[in-house]
Amino acid sequence: MPAFPRLVRLFTPVAALLLVACGGSPAPAPTADAEAAADPGELNLYTTREPGLIQPLLDAFTAQTGTRVNTVFVRDGLLERVRAEGERSPADVLMTVDTGNLLDLVDAGQTRPVQSQVLADAIPAHLRGADGQWFALSLRDRILYADKDLALDGFTYEQLADPKWKGKVCIRSGQHPYNTSLIAAMIAHHGAEATETWLRGVKANLARKAAGGDRDVARDILAGICEIGIANAYYVGRMKNEAEGSEQRQWGDAIQVIRPTFAIDGGGTHVNISGAAVALHSPNRDNAVKLLEYLVSDEAQSLYAKANYEYPVKAGVELDPVVASFGPMQVDALPLARIAEHRRQASELVDRVGFDN
């Protein structure tokens, strides 16, 4: 038996758990020729996604195709890991969240292009790399959590800076990738100067220091600390599906959900993504493409919606009932890559206005 396949098997569950426990610290690099790892019956996935979220999709893929997925869960340092492994890396698919993380992999030369009509047909053009280097697999829309007793008929992101909300807004750190992505989108729509004015207005409206997580926004609305806040939609699905009487169920039941839009450029709701790319040195490239194509199938997209409460990238897929209750979503049409160009500028702006202070 070739040495490398034995090594690959070391990356299966036990090693994966060790990686999670160690925060994704790089394991010893493979020591055999990567070409020897090609196996028609398996592939190797490096992912930053939580095991409980992605495993049902991988199990379904294996059941349908017979192809085993050896999964390495990398909490941090995905780019550093594959770069350190170099051409001997066993990674076939690199999966993560946030457009910026995917583009970092692309910019570092750690991905290879894929031309697939299946992927092109399923994923709108503004949600994938034009050169086939990366693909969105699910959407994570940034929405408004609001006190359920508030009378609101629509909302724009720009309205977060309206003085009428002074002392009534809760949100997590401006430096969190979810928020730097939103601020970057605001820069792409309005320019840096107008966005700085807007961000200073949002800060002036904060009910508490920008901190905590998205679910804390719902918690603090229930506690009467704030009336509105910005957070990701899928957390609502999780909270509302918790057991009756649990804390998180109470948080979820305390809020109403509105999908904000930008006030210009035709409107649209800001989304971030989970996504994936084929690794530069993929030894099982055909299987890697097969997995990506499966993940945009109706079956997998429905699993994304029902297991993770994320929004499918493919049109026409049945939504989870909680997500469906938010109403139709018009996604901001700006290409994600264009938004990602402003990430650094957005981060610098957060510091300049002292948003997290």
Is 338 within a domain? Answer: yes
Is 25 within a domain? Answer: no
**Sign, Cα dihedral of 301, 305, 308, 314:** positive
pLDDT for res 26: 36
Q: What is the pLDDT of residues 181-213, one digit of tens each?
A: 999 999 999 999 999 999 999 999 999 999 999
pLDDT for res 38: 62
Residue 134 shares a structural domain with residue 190: no
The segments of the chain whose pLDDT lies below 50 read: 1-36
309 is in an annotated binding site: no
Residue 199 shares a structural domain with residue 339: yes
Is 1 within a domain? Answer: no
Q: Which two tokens stand for residue 137?
A: 């697999």
Total number of domains in the chain: 2
Q: What is the CATH number of the domain that holds 236?
A: 3.40.190.10
Identify whether the C-beta of residue 204 lies closer than 8 Å to the C-beta of residue 349.
no
190: domain range?
Answer: 141-269+332-353
Residue 252 shares a structural domain with residue 337: yes
pLDDT for res 2: 35
**Sign, Cα dihedral of 229, 230, 232, 233:** positive
Q: What is the pLDDT of residues 255-264, one digit of tens each?
A: 999 999 999 8
Residue 202 shares a structural domain with residue 213: yes
Helix ranges (DSSP H) in the chain:
3-10, 13-21, 51-65, 78-85, 99-107, 117-122, 177-190, 192-204, 214-222, 234-240, 247-253, 285-295, 298-308, 321-324, 336-340, 343-352
Q: What is the pLDDT of residues 291-348, one digit of tens each?
A: 999 999 999 999 888 888 999 999 999 888 888 898 889 999 898 888 989 999 999 9
**Sign, Cα dihedral of 231, 233, 238, 244:** positive
Residue 259 shares a structural domain with residue 156: yes
Rounded Cα distance, 128 and 113, in Å: 11
Q: How many residues does the chain have?
A: 357
**Sign, Cα dihedral of 321, 327, 328, 331:** negative
Residue 222 shares a structural domain with residue 237: yes
Residue 156 three-state SS: strand
Residue 258 shares a structural domain with residue 284: no
Residue 89 shares a structural domain with residue 200: no
- The DSSP code sequence of 227-238 is SEEEEETHHHHH
Is 128 within a domain? Answer: yes
235 is in an annotated binding site: yes
**Predicted TM-score (pTM) of this structure:** 0.81
Residue 251 shares a structural domain with residue 240: yes
- The DSSP code sequence of 22-70 is TTSPPPPPP-S-GGGG--TTEEEEEE-S-HHHHHHHHHHHHHHH--EEE
Q: Provide CB contacts within 8 A for 34, sequence distance 6+.
A: 4, 87, 88, 89, 90, 281, 283
Residue in the block written with tokens 């979220």: 53
Is 107 within a domain? Answer: yes
Residue in the block written with tokens 């918790």: 242
Identify whether the C-beta of residue 233 lies closer than 8 Å to the C-beta of residue 311.
yes
Is 134 within a domain? Answer: yes
Residue 336 shares a structural domain with residue 205: yes
Is 6 within a domain? Answer: no
Rounded Cα distance, 52 and 50, in Å: 6
Residue 131 shares a structural domain with residue 70: yes
Is 64 within a domain? Answer: yes
Residue 256 shares a structural domain with residue 275: no
Residue 276 three-state SS: strand
